[in-house]
Amino acid sequence: MTTQRHYSPIDRLLLQADTAMRTLLPFSGQPHRPSPAIIKPEKTLDEKKARHIAGLMRINHTGEVCAQALYQGQALTAKLAHVREAMEHAAEEEIDHLAWCEQRIHQLGSHTSVLNPLFYGMSFGIGAVAGLVSDKVSLGFVAATEDQVCKHLNEHLEQIPAEDEKSRAILEQMRLDEEQHAASALEAGGYRFPAPVKLGMSLLAKVMTKSTYRI
């Protein structure tokens, strides 16, 4: 018979600090699944294409940093145990995306964004506040956020050249996972955000994408 461990508030804060370090420090997050890029051939890309793709992958990496922080913030303040567990499980899957994007960025000869700590802190705060409001709002925020992520992934897939099969494989698998996260959040009772709220989230996302493309 197995028993579920119950963590104290101090334990949870320490776990959150550990997760933040593993998210922000280079090559600290260990993926649970191998990168989809492994089985794809590496094609020679000219400098301009490689730089552009690296910028897109940097945006996606920062997006995963934000997602990780969002889920951790929500898990910290979630009121129902099953909602907390769902957030923590989703965060584990986001670690895969984080590691895959980071690996690909370095293969392209570039770097992750120096703004990641800023966006992590902002997203963690938003997630924690959403969890404090209600689990329904928290789950709805997940669904709305994942919808935004899928839109960015679709846009990036249109821009990545066909010969870069490695980057495309990563983004295609990420899109499948994010779609599942959004659907699961709504099925669990998440609130469907109205269009004006989604518009505001889209504007904030544009700030992130514009700033992290280069830095």
User: Which residue numbers belong to the known binding site?
Assistant: 64, 94, 97, 146, 178, 181
For 114, residues 6+ apart whose C-beta sits below 8 A from its C-beta are 215
Nearest-angstrom CA–CA distance, 113 and 86: 28
Q: Which residue ranges are tagged as binding site for Fe cation?
A: 64, 94, 97, 146, 178, 181
Return d(Cα 72, Cα 116) in angstroms, integer: 15
Neighbours of 41 (CB within 10 A): 8
Give the alpha-carbon dihedral of 109, 112, 114, 118, to 10 degrees: 170
First to last CA, the chain: 50
Token look-up 């992290």 returns 212
